[in-house]
Amino acid sequence: MKYPVALTEGILIKREKRFLVHVELPGGEKVIAHTNNTGTMLSCNTPGSKCWLSPANNPKRKLKWTYEIVESDGVKVGINTSVPNKLAEEAILNGAITELQGYNNLRREVKYGKNSRIDILLESDNSRCWVEVKNVTLTDGNGTALFPDAVTARGLKHLHELENMVEQGDRAVMLYIVQRSDAVQFATADEIDPKYAAGLKQAMKNGVEVLCYRAEVSVDGVEIVEPLEALCQPNPASIKTTP
């Protein structure tokens, strides 16, 4: 996935509330950018970090910038949570996610469950596959990508809805996209949200599949490059719980 316009580099000043980040641009101008990432952004929220913004494509939008990338421990991390859905669609269509091949049709944002929309629905003549996509930005500092970075009741709800799809005879997949290059494996962040961790393990027992792919992030674009092993068990390494 290529960014449609060039990104602008800046320095992160601070994050304010859930949807705002303050950034200083190269000329010294201070701007406020929108972020759609509602997590804590643990390990990706340090003031003084390099970051990159995209200009808003809607001239009527109040905030003229969107938060796209931040540098953490020398690694570019994709913050924009809308990117993984685009990456997943692109990777499925070009064959990069081998486990999700063999379907004739791909649809996005299809209603299912209780007032939810599935990120991707794959269909063929006699089968359907429901794919929920999550963005992963947190690591434990030792190469393990962790999800979630905050308690997520919504994420747990999605797991239950995927289980329901399996009960109805369909295939259901939880797909984690890690938008940073220093991850070598994936695990649940048990210390942050033990209910989600337990929910994922139960969902797997009930037939929900778990896939994890790492993406390479650059100022030009983001590309899925390789699968990661999903440990899906308590991670013994200590977690960095400060921005």
Asked if residue 241 has pLDDT above 60, the reply is no
Sign for the CA dihedral angle at 36, 42, 47, 50 comes to: negative
Residue 235: pLDDT band (50, 70, 90) is very low
Residue 217: pLDDT band (50, 70, 90) is very high
pLDDT of residue 243: 37
Closest to 144 (Cα-Cα) out of 29, 236, 58 = 236
Q: Is 207 helix (H, G, I), strand (E, B) or coil?
A: coil
pLDDT of residue 232: 75
Residue 74: exposed, middle, or buried by beta-carbon count in 10 A (0-12, 13-18, 19+)? exposed
Q: What is the mean pLDDT of the chain?
A: 91
Q: What is the pLDDT of residues 12-25, one digit of tens each?
A: 999 998 899 999 99
Strands 20-24, 30-34: parallel, antiparallel or unpaired by DSSP? antiparallel
pLDDT of residue 233: 52
Q: What is the pLDDT of residues 74-91, one digit of tens each?
A: 999 999 999 999 999 999
Q: Which domains are present in the chain?
A: 8-77 (2.40.50.580), 83-230 (3.40.1350.60)
Local structure of residue 53 (DSSP, 8 states): E
Distance CA 131, CA 108 (A): 10
Instruction: Specify the amino acid at residue 55.
Output: P
Residues 6 or more apart in contact with residue 40 via CB below 8 angstroms: 149, 150, 243
Asked if residue 242 has pLDDT above 70, the reply is no
Let me know: does 46 contact 12? Beta carbons within 8 Å.
yes
Percent of the chain with pLDDT over 90: 83
Higher pLDDT, 112 or 148: 148
pLDDT of residue 240: 39
* Least confident span in 1-10, 59-68, 87-96, 201-210: 59-68
Distance CA 9, CA 48 (A): 12
Q: What is the pLDDT of residues 124-180, one digit of tens each?
A: 988 999 999 999 999 998 999 999 999 999 999 999 999 999 999 999 999 999 999
pLDDT of residue 60: 79
Residue owning tokens 């930005």: 137
Asked if residue 222 has pLDDT above 70, the reply is yes
